[in-house]
Structure 1
Amino acid sequence: MTVNFFLVVAAAFLVSWMIGANSVSAAFAPVVGTKAGGVLRGALFAGIFGLIGAIVQGGNVAGTVGSGLIRGVELTTVTASIILLTAAALIIFGVFSHVPIPIAFTVVGGVLGAGLGLGYPLNMSNVQVIAATWIAIPFVSIFLGYAFSMALRFFLDKEDSETTLDTLVFVIGAFCAYTAGANLVGLAVGPLVHNIDLSLKILLFLGGATILLGAWIGGPRIVNAVSKDYSELGARRSACALAVATVIAQIATIMGIPVSFNEVIIASIIGSGLIVGVGGIQFKKIAKTVLSWIGSFFASMGITWIATIVFV
């Protein structure tokens, strides 16, 4: 086994760890925010459901990332290492600079940049579908967030709904963590599909197990921080935000499209808040977040483009 092999495996596990610690654990945070579970237990449950999702449905997105974006080429260990390490570096930069960097945007941008650096044509039909999905998600999430909030307000009265809402948030949070694992594990293991002598199921299991460890060990801090934000939103808006994220991400997973859970959840929170008006919406913060998403995508594409030309 070569140094390149160990490097690409380490890079894939690093990205999987980050998925568990940041994205999957955050999906379960509303459960803690509504006092339906403790922080450590919530992080562990998030990892378990994420592992199950990775094993059961992770192959769709892994196929897209591994071979659906570039025509006529299979990613080598060196190229896969460049893609995953670039994504990990950008995410780490985002953590320390308090800028949200979506894993989906960085990995997909990295794969496209690598394809351009190698001189191969991109699979524009798939790229266009992914781009259209990312652009449509905020608008669909806002609409569904508003619609779900109206439905909950209509069917559940304030006096008798606390227990029902807590149970609903737990169930939706579990399914959201499951869907996060199913959608995001492919970003970590997809670049490895054609250059490691392991079956896809084994790669998905290893990626899911690393997501579990990331959520359990690295997730409590994220769960504790995010749960405070959700506790301020209340159980109704938390349930709506997670329900919208789950529905959209599950459809995207079936189609093999990687998505950013931050994008879906933030937009659905905005939609659910429109019931009480637009006064609480922080437009400057939203604009900064959107710019960071766009910037991370093109930064990842540019870095991998140059690195592939130099090192491959």
Structure 2
Amino acid sequence: MTVNFFLVVAAAFLVSWMIGANSVSTAFAPVVGTKAGGVLRGALLAGIFGLIGAVVQGGTVAGTVGSGLIEGVELSTATGSIVLLTAAALIIFGVFSHIPIPVAFTVVGGVLGTGLGLGYSLNTSNVQIIVAAWIAIPFISIFLGYVFSMILRSFLDEENSETKLGALVFVIGAFCAYTAGANLVGLAIGPLVHDIDLSLKILLLLGGAIILLGAWIGGPRIVNAVSKDYSELGARRSVCALAVATVIAQVATFMGIPVSFNEVIIASIIGSGLVVGVGGIQLKKTAKTALSWIGSFFASLGITWVASIVFL
């Protein structure tokens, strides 16, 4: 076994951990925000449901990442290690900076960067679909979050909603974490699919298990931050935010499109919070987060482009 093999496996485990800590755990932030669950318990449950989603539905996105972005080329252990190590470094930076860096942006940017650096042709149709989805998702999430919250607001006042919707917030949060695991595990194990003599299901199970540990041990910080920093959440807005995020991410998963779950759920939280006006939204932090998302994509693309020219 080569050094590149061990590097890509270690990097895949590290990215899986970060997915659990930085993305899957975000799904339970509204649950914690409505006091339907504590931070530590919410992070653990997010990881469990993320593991289930990874095993059941994770293969579609894994195929896109492993062989669907570069025309006629499957990722090798060398390119995979560069992509995943770069993504992990950027995500770790985001965790310590209290900024949720999208795993999808860093991994996809890394794959594209290595492809360009090695002179390969990109699968432009797939890339265009993914980028279009990334651009559209915040607007769709904000709009649907606002509409759903307005509809629910007309049927339930805030006092009644806290008792009637508490259980529903928890159930939708669980499905949201499941969907996050289903979409995001492919970003970590996609580069391994064509280089390791293990079945896809085994790889998904291993990736999902590391996601669980990442969410349980590393997720409480992000859960606490997202539940407070972007919008003041009540039960009504939490139900709407989680429902919107789950629907959008499920559609993307079926289509094999890797999406930023942080982007989806934070945008839906913002949209649901707009029913009480912009005063409940942390606009400065939201703008900073959006810029960090864009920057992370281009940083990953640039770093891997240079690294592939120098080392491969």
Does the 8 Å CA contact 1:230/1:238 hold for their aligned counterparts?
no
Task: Give ranges in structure 1 of 5+ residues lacking alignment.
Answer: none
Instruction: Name 2:78's counterpart in structure 1.
Output: 78
Over the residues paired in the alignment, what is the CA RMSD in angstroms? 1.6
3-state SS of 2:219 partner: helix
Deviation at 1:159, TM superposition (A): 4.1
3-state SS of 2:23 partner: helix
Deviations 1:238-265 (A, max 9, x none): 2211111111101001101111122112
* Residue 107 of structure 2 is aligned to residue 122 of structure 1: no
Q: Distance in 2 between matches of 1:131 and 1:154?
A: 36
Instruction: Name 1:135's counterpart in structure 2.
Output: 135
Q: Distance in 2 between matches of 1:34 and 1:108?
A: 34
Q: Counterparts in 2 of 1:42-121, with a 5 A limit?
A: 42-121=42-121
3-state SS of 1:196 partner: coil
Q: Counterparts in 2 of 1:1-312, with a 5 A limit?
A: 1-229=1-229, 232-312=232-312
Does the 8 Å CA contact 1:20/1:47 hold for their aligned counterparts?
yes
Q: Distance in 2 between matches of 1:269 and 1:227?
A: 9
Deviations 1:138-165 (A, max 9, x none): 1111110111101211232344332221
Letter in 2 for 1:16: S
Alignment coverage as a number of residue pairs? 312
Letter in 2 for 1:30: P
TM value normalised by structure 1 = 0.95
Change (3 A) 1:272 1:216: same
Does the 8 Å CA contact 2:66/2:193 hold for their aligned counterparts?
yes
Does the 8 Å CA contact 2:102/2:262 hold for their aligned counterparts?
yes
Q: Distance in 1 between matches of 2:29 and 2:5?
A: 35
Letter in 2 for 1:123: N
Q: Distance in 1 between matches of 2:176 and 2:57?
A: 13
Between 57-66 and 88-97, report the one with greater CA deviation. Answer: 88-97
Change (3 A) 1:287 1:32: closer
Between 218-227 and 110-119, report the one with greater CA deviation. Answer: 218-227
Does the 8 Å CA contact 1:34/1:231 hold for their aligned counterparts?
no
Q: Distance in 2 between matches of 1:285 and 1:217?
A: 25
Letter in 2 for 1:285: K
Change (3 A) 1:227 1:97: closer
Change (3 A) 1:303 1:41: same
Q: Distance in 2 between matches of 1:241 and 1:100?
A: 17
Deviation at 1:15, TM superposition (A): 0.2
Q: Distance in 1 between matches of 2:229 and 2:290?
A: 19
Deviation at 1:230, TM superposition (A): 7.8
Does the 8 Å CA contact 2:230/2:270 hold for their aligned counterparts?
no
